[in-house]
Amino acid sequence: MSKTTTQHAADIINNFGSEVDLEQEQVEESIRDKIDEYLIPARDAKDLVEKEIKQSLSEDAETEEESQTKQSSDTPQPEETFNRQLIEDIDTDTAEHDYLVEVIELWEPTSENIGQVGLIADGSDVTKFTIWENLDLPELKEGEVYKFKNAITNLYDEQYSLIFSNGSEITHAPDQAVNGRGMDGVIVDIQHGSGLIKRCPEDGCTRVIRKSFCQAHGKVEGEFDLRIKAVIDNGLETQDLIFNREMTEQVMGFTLEEAKQQAKDALDTDIVQDNIEDEIVGDYYKVKGTEFNQYLIVKDAEEDKAIDEETLNTIRSRTTTNHTESQSESVKA
């Protein structure tokens, strides 16, 4: 018998002990959010939430240290937000953005004015960074992950790199993985279990059910959901993709409610999967997402209609894999 979200939340609170002030209800809600967002089992969602709490605690500690050394500034700082941008999307000089990066190499500075210089990667691309000596920023270590806030793009010799100013911040993010990545290619397959599906409504289960039967909970009244399990192929490699409800609605241009109507009209829920297949198989997409097991959980998808027919045909003809339903279904399917 798997644990309920309530039990998982209680475990988390227990693990952190009484030193940390956590609300049962809030922790439960966070777990449910993760389940909904990533379509993962409750125990994986619990791990994610635990990780995030750990991370926010270490950030709080750092911020406290900072404010002690800096003493109070005149105006209270507004709640800081972190809007992650990918290195591969850098295309403007002197633009300020936030990045989540891993330091992959540190170089010997060639000038006294340089505090640190080296290479950073974020799963989408690699670029150079330079921290000037006069800036009060923490020392970076190789192999560690950091959040860069308000880092500045610098175009030199046709190459972009990142530099920093007094308005930039760098925080150590030991619990974050730099694994977001993107892929461009042709959608070559829609896998079974796409379209209009039903999930087990039991607390934290979210398993996709067939014929009102959940493997863990037996006969249940399922709840409708919408998703796409697809395979994208760039001619060199293939990647399994998962579009959650929101991404599916965005890509397909119909909502869950409309999908239900399609199924009702056709007296067949499979019609939705067929419609998805008709719409996107063979099309060229640029997708970005988070890696999870063998899947890329899609966070951003855009069809590239500008790609010319010849290129498209070349990729299509190169894609030889026989795409069948993936055997290992680690995201509960």
Does 216 help bind Zn ion (rule: CB under 5 A)?
A: yes
Stretch touching Zn ion by CB under 5 A, among 146-154, 212-220, 256-264, 316-324: 212-220
Of the candidate residues 87, 173, 208, 214, the single one contacting Zn ion (CB under 5 A): 214
Tell me how far, at minimum, the Cβ of 205 lies from Zn ion, in Å: 3
Does 217 help bind Zn ion (rule: CB under 5 A)?
A: yes
First to last CA, the chain: 18
Tell me how far, at minimum, the Cβ of 212 lies from Zn ion, in Å: 11
96: number of Cβ within 10 Å: 14
Task: Select the residue whose beta carbon is closest to Zn ion and give its number.
Answer: 200
Binding footprint of Zn ion, residue count (CB under 5 A): 7
Does 205 help bind Zn ion (rule: CB under 5 A)?
A: yes
145 vs 216, which CB is nearer to Zn ion? 216
Of the candidate residues 100, 188, 200, 296, the single one contacting Zn ion (CB under 5 A): 200
Stretch touching Zn ion by CB under 5 A, among 60-68, 136-144, 207-215, 308-316: 207-215
10 vs 216, which CB is nearer to Zn ion? 216
What does the angle CA 286 – CA 122 – CA 331 come to, to the nearest 5 degrees?
Answer: 65
Q: Which amino acid is at 181?
A: R
- DSSP assignment, residue 84? B
Tell me how far, at minimum, the Cβ of 217 lies from Zn ion, in Å: 4
- Give how far Cα 320 sits from Cα of 172, 235, 241, 277, Å: 43, 8, 18, 18
Does 35 help bind Zn ion (rule: CB under 5 A)?
A: no
Does 202 help bind Zn ion (rule: CB under 5 A)?
A: yes
Tell me how far, at minimum, the Cβ of 294 lies from Zn ion, in Å: 23
Does 175 help bind Zn ion (rule: CB under 5 A)?
A: no
Tell me how far, at minimum, the Cβ of 121 lies from Zn ion, in Å: 39
Helix (H, G, I), strand (E, B) or coil at 198: strand
Chain Cα centroid distance, residue 132: 31
- Give how far Cα 269 sits from Cα of 110, 210, 220, 224, 259, Å: 64, 12, 18, 10, 9
Q: Which residues contact 160 (CB under 8 A, 6 or more apart)?
A: 90, 91, 93, 127, 153, 154
43: number of Cβ within 10 Å: 13
Tell me how far, at minimum, the Cβ of 227 lies from Zn ion, in Å: 17
Does 135 help bind Zn ion (rule: CB under 5 A)?
A: no
Q: Which amino acid is at 167?
A: G
Positions touching Zn ion (CB under 5 A) are 200, 202, 205, 207, 214, 216-217
